[in-house]
Structure 1
Amino acid sequence: MHIAFLLIGVLLLMWLVMSAPVGIRTIKRIFRVHAPAEKMRAALHPFGSDFTWNGAVSAVEKHSADSGKMITSHADRKGSFIERDFALYQSDNDLEWMVWFTSDTSLDQSFWRHHRMETKLLAVSPHETEIEISETDSYNGIAFLIFRYFSIRRMALKLKIWGEQGTYQSGGLFERPSTQIVMAVLSALLLWPVFGLTGQGFLLSAALTLIVGLHELGHIAAFRIMGQRTARMIFIPILGGIALGGRPYDRHFEIGFSALMGAGFSAFLTALLMWSHPLIAEMNTKLIADCVVVFALMGALFNLGNLIPVWKFDGGQVLRQVFRTPYAQALCAFLLLGWLMAIGHIIGLPANMLIISGAIFSLLSVFTSKGGIKPKTPLTPMNNNERAAILAAFVAVFSIHCSVLVWSAGILFA
């Protein structure tokens, strides 16, 4: 029963994070910098002489008094720098303006439809400036809203250091490996009460955190195989982790392969654990053998949970790339959900729990089916060989985790 409530709570939290209709929201940051208003205007105004102070924009081309083009330092899916045309709405005193992006070489214009960035400067004294930065956009799910909040907060901090000391500090505390280790430990501690505040409960929560890390490591390996030069992992307590690549996706095959490799990488480990268990048991090391079974069970459950046909989960992403029509996607989703429920029945889960879980997964799939970031131009489609390869790999990975789940549950709950 506790697991059922945990599952429902986590799924609702995921819906809130990924797809809840938050609507149009404005994030505002007001702070003071011990620097003249002219200096801060040069750093914040698109046509200012120091607009490239933080390296996010490498150059600005001025088209007219109220329009121009930003050449960013971020790579698009082909490796070129992303360029954005913008319109500028300027007040009479030159200390207030708003920027609206009218074109983007990487993203469809729908991404910028509701986006506005407003800046206001107030000269408190000849050597101190009050800055108000606000960013308005429409959000589905609170994840991107939270990201924007911390992004504008970080920018304000770095701008203050640049204005007062004349130096720019790249990176941040959150990206450091030490911070991610702390986040992983925090995640394990928050999960501890779910498994019971005992030594065994802590080992289970730590094992689940390790399983999350291995899963995201598979995604990172896929990014590198697909030619991305940089990739990193971010731990999110309770919810798990996120693997981020260094550029946008270029092909549908790349999306499917990268999404599948999380569970695919772990499939090798869980299969190895199942194969090695008899050897460990023969060595009369019952404690280690039991730990192997428990770890394999948790790994199989977690990765199967990621492979369910919810469109913003790994499984949904893979199926969406392989099957491009809604009817084929729906048929495959129901077949996969039926397969999962059959496995649940085999390992002895109650029928009411299976029905509730199936209903929750179906609703979550519907709620998360909309949205997503649309690229400027369509991605390169899969050919028949790539589609067959991804589908065969998906079936193999899914089958391995199902086999490990049935095997480990049979040992633990016999």
Structure 2
Amino acid sequence: MDTVTPDPSETPSPEAAAAPRVTVAPVVATADSAHGHVDVIDDRDGYLAAVEAIAAGTGPISIDAERASGYRYSQRAYLIQVFRRGSGVFLFDPPAIGRFDELQAVISHEEWVLHAASQDLACLREVGLDPDLVFDTELGARLAGLPKVGLGAVVEQLLGVHLAKEHSAADWSTRPLPQSWLVYAALDVELLVDLRDAMAELLERDGKLDIARQEFAATVAREVKPAKAEPWRRLTGLHTVRGSRGLAVARELWTARDDYARQVDTAAGRLVPDSSLVAAAKALPADKRALAGLREFVGRASRSELDRWWAAVERGQATADLPSHRGPAGDTLPPPRSWADKSPMADARYRHARPVVAAIAERLDLPVENLLTPELLRRVCWEPPIPFEPEALAAALTELGARAWQVEAVAGPLADAFVDAHQEPETQPAEPS
């Protein structure tokens, strides 16, 4: 079986050279490492035995999930990997096992270590796995100011280990899963606990551990955003469609494709790509033969489901419910480039606030988007509390979802920036956004 060792062909950075180095033994999907072969647990008896072994381990639980994004419509987990010191690595087949309530009961109150937790929490929760406390090594890497935050890069920098990532975009719904994929998946999760310890030391050294804990807690608490009112408007290239009738055809084609993609559990773009739907909406074919003859209308289901697509075109051409060129207003702000015309004072506040926030982020050695998201900054600039006092700005930022450490860092400087903006002569030209 393959093992993970440092790549001798690459010269490690000073940070990597100083970091503790890890020798990773062959890993298997059960607590027994004698066979040197990775197995997937796909039955209830094996799953319950694994839960018992995990309960006997110690320390944090590292967990990862593999989906089939780009291949399947659903975002379900097709493989879940779990590691705990004293227990080993376990690879589970979620479609075969179903619910993971017994594992949840054992590990729910322990710290879970994930890399980019926000990407995996939804599919883990779908099978009953929901953490109280997480340590997100990807988010930790951002807060630590590391130049690269992908798992392979962070493992190499902090642990001095070269981790191959050749199967990250694989179709994990494949059955049986190739042995090389399973080795990859097992090694991924086994290194996370060591990475967590090294990351925690780095964050504590830089005085950022409390910041990280607040961000990790926010990740767990973050609610799923509601679906957009008109998701069909996400079609790539939709802006090239002219006329409400063309938009109606695009809407009906998108809806028909989405329904069929859900039915066959296949990524929608693999059936008929966005470019094909947009081409049909622009062409407005007169009959089914014209649609079939459209050179740009391609994709694996473009001809086998031609009746489906033509019915959608007919609905779009006949409907009286014509969409507008603008999407639903909702609470979407206008783009900042239009603020100088729509709200000159908001534009002035935004121009003064952006460099202030950037300077604070640089001083704290943080990505500016982790100090304050662009959306949050735009909202507080567009409609700030008046008068511009730190306490009022702090309350507004908190209501918008900023964490305590973010509020403490930016509320006062933002209040000063807003005061400066309102003292600016109105004739001063706006800087480009």
TM range (shorter): under 0.3
Q: What TM-score, normalized by structure 1, do the two folds share?
A: 0.22
Structure ID, larger Rg: 2
- Structure with bigger strand share is 1
TM-score under structure 2 normalisation?
Answer: 0.21
Higher relative contact order (CA 8 A, sep 6+): 1
